[in-house]
Amino acid sequence: VNKVNKLYYVIPKKKNMYIFLTRRGLRGRNILSVAAAPFVVEKDIKINGFDVVSVPLFFPKLFNINLIKLKSVLKDLFGLILLKDIDFLFRNELKSGVFLKENKEEIPASCQAICLFSGGVDSYCGILQARERDPEVVGLFCAHSDQSKIISTVEQFSDGILTKRRIRLVKLSVPEIKAIGYSQMRGFLYFVSAAAWMDLLNAKKLIITEVGPTMYQPRFAYFDSVTLTAHPYVLRCAQKAIELLLGRKIELILPYENMTKAEIISICPDKHWLKKTLSCISQRFGKHDGTCYACVMRRLAFTAAGIEDVEYIRDPIVDPKANNANLIALLRYNQSYLMNYKEMRFFQIENIEMFKKYDLFRRFALDNITAIYKLIMSNQRVIKPVANIYKEVSKKLGTDIFEHRLEELQKGHIAPNFDLPFSF
Ligand SMILES: [Zn+2]
């Protein structure tokens, strides 16, 4: 006997969500329901075992959605990312209904492209660069109501630099994150939710500013936040789901797919606001703890690029008392990559081999060791394990390689790709 998890989707009673209660937002309402389903299910899949998920749709017949294909996309997503065999079915939630009256001035004019914005480093650089290429680009922020620090950070950006650069930002309310920490289905939630606005604005491109090494990071690494948020499998499932729900083809643009974080911030058009971006996984307090994987990656990238950074509560590079598990795991990984790639285990390089990202991960490894080189050259004391990694790498490769890397970063030698859509 199959155990069915019956989901409900209720439009949050918020001004920014009003449009999805009108006739014009009906397709978007269906899109939001499908986008939220995997995210909501992932949260209680471990607690309540079930094999079938029932997803609500509203007047689905009006849109001629191929539900058989949509179901197989969701099944694939769970198989590929969570390694779970879950079946999906769709039910017609509303047979008759009343739509609220449309409020015309709420909707911006049509545009070509929507760019996801989260208040993080990459999406901040991404939205500015997208705007330089396309003056009509609309930013989209997916707000979890229980992440008030991020919401207020994004509001500061919206009222500040984004207004100054005449970038429009719309906000979608998505389900709460609660205490789950991280979720593999977050990417799917954001990408597919964005299609609700792609429908309203008739947009054909969705710009996702994920940084390359995070996209392709090893599935089973030692870092504390290995998420497959924008893994190519997730992107492929999201694109298929969006096209089925919109009933038309779209393009995913991943401008930073072949760039490292240090390369991205090196070419950021307005570096001053980088200090206001949030990266830490403990975002509840709006501060940077300095020890989580996201903080470590950020700190090393800013150091290598020579750009003023946020303040960190702890500094595991110099403080022997700070938790350095993520820092050391990352540097050891980078060291192996530069010194003995052939001896690395399959799970460490699976994605690099499959998607041919050798050079991207070489530059990523170099950025991080170059950051340590810079600190040591400026007479900064670093903890012993970090000093040892640096000694072993520089003994084998010399130090010219770090100087050369610093020059490359200064020059901004890698350009983002806003033109060619992502393909698999
Ligand atoms: Zn952190």
The C-alpha atoms of residue 353 and residue 115 are separated, in whole angstroms, by 29
CA of 286 to the centre of ligand 1 (A): 10
How many whole angstroms from 190 Cα to the centroid of ligand 1? 22
Please tell me the distance between residue 343's alpha carbon and the centre of ligand 1 in angstroms.
31
With helix as H, strand as E and coil as C, how does 217-244 read? CCCCCCCCCCCCCCCHHHHHHHHHHHHH
- Which residues have CB less than 5 Å away from ligand 1 (the ion)? 280, 289, 292, 295
Q: How far is the CA of 150 from the centre of ligand 1 (A)?
A: 14
Percent of the chain with pLDDT over 70: 95
Going from the Cα of 129 to the center of ligand 1, the distance in angstroms, rounded, reads 26
Q: How far apart are CA 392 and CA 32, in angstroms?
A: 51
pLDDT, greater one: 38 or 45: 38
The whole-angstrom separation of Cα 166 and Cα 232 is 32
Question: From the CA of 58, how far away is ligand 1's center (Å)?
Answer: 40
Q: Tell me, in angstroms, the distance from the centre of ligand 1 to residue 81's CA.
A: 25
The DSSP letter of residue 88 is E
19 band by pLDDT with thresholds 50, 70 and 90: very high
How close is the Cα of 270 to the center of ligand 1, in Å?
23
- The CA radius of gyration of the chain, in Å to the nearest whole number, is 22
- Could you report the per-residue pLDDT of 77-134, keeping only the tens digit for each? 999 888 889 999 999 987 666 788 887 777 778 999 999 999 999 999 999 999 999 9
Question: Would you state the pLDDT for residue 104?
Answer: 72
What is the per-residue pLDDT across 245-304, written as a single tens digit (0 to 9) for each?
Answer: 999 999 999 999 999 999 999 999 999 999 999 988 776 667 899 998 899 999 999 999
**What is the CA(195)–ligand 1 centre distance, in A?**
30
Q: What is the pTM of this model?
A: 0.95
Strands 113-116, 138-144: pairing is parallel
Distance 296 CA to ligand 1 centre (A): 7
Q: Ligand 1 centroid vs 386 CA: distance in angstroms?
A: 19
Question: How far is Cα 268 from Cα 133, in angstroms, rounded to an integer?
Answer: 14
Lay out the sheet containing 251-253: strands in order across. Answer: 168-174, 138-144, 113-116, 205-207, 251-253
Element at 411 (helix H, strand E): helix 400-411
Beta-strand runs (E) in 244-336: 251-253
CA 388 to centroid of ligand 1, rounded, Å: 24
- Positive or negative, the CA dihedral 283, 285, 291, 296 is positive
CB hemisphere CA count around 269 (13 angstroms): 16
Q: Does the structure show a pLDDT above 90 at 220?
A: no
Residue 225: per-residue pLDDT:
56
What separation in Å is there between the alpha carbon of 280 and the centre of ligand 1? 4
The count of other CB atoms within 10 Å of the CB of residue 293 is: 24
- Separation of CA 289 and ligand 1 centre (Å): 4
Q: Give the tokens for residue 37.
A: 């389903």
181: confidence class by pLDDT, cuts 50, 70, 90: low
Q: What is the Å distance from ligand 1's center to 212 Cα?
A: 20
Distance between Cα 328 and ligand 1 center (Å): 15
* Residue 88 exposure: Cα atoms within 13 Å on the Cβ side: 24
Rounded to the nearest angstrom, the distance between the alpha carbon of 309 and the centre of ligand 1 is 13
d(CA 141, CA 393): 41
What is the Å distance from ligand 1's center to 22 Cα?
Answer: 40
Give the neighbor-by-neighbor strand order of the sheet with 52-58: 4-6, 52-58, 87-94
The pLDDT value given to residue 280? 85
Strand partners, 168: 138
Question: To the nearest whole number, what is the mean pLDDT of the chain?
Answer: 92
- 281 C-alpha vs ligand 1 centroid, how far in Å? 5
Going by pLDDT thresholds of 50, 70 and 90, the confidence category of residue 409 is very high
Q: Are 20 and 28 in contact (CB under 8 A)?
A: yes
Task: Tell me the pLDDT band of 21, cut-offs 50, 70 and 90.
Answer: very high
Question: What residues contact residue 2 under an 8 Å CB cut-off, 6+ apart?
Answer: 50, 51, 52, 87
Residue in the structure block whose two tokens are 């041919």:
356
Indicate whether 221 pLDDT > 90.
Answer: no
pLDDT at 407: 97
Average pLDDT over every residue of 158-172: 97
Q: Determine the distance separating the centroid of ligand 1 and the alpha carbon of 227, expressed in angstroms.
A: 15
Asked whether the beta carbons of 207 and 130 are under 8 A apart, the reply is: yes
Q: How far is the CA of 294 from the centre of ligand 1 (A)?
A: 6
The SS3 assignment for 86 reads coil
Q: What is the pLDDT of residue 178?
A: 79
**pLDDT tens sequence across 339-352:** 999 999 888 898 89
Judged by DSSP in three states, 135 sits in: coil
In DSSP terms, which residues pair with 1 in a beta bridge? Answer: none
In the prediction, which pLDDT does 264 show?
98
Compute, in angstroms, the gap from residue 72 CA to the centroid of ligand 1: 37
Calculate how far, in angstroms, residue 297's C-alpha sits from the geometric centre of ligand 1.
Answer: 9
pLDDT at 200 over 70: yes
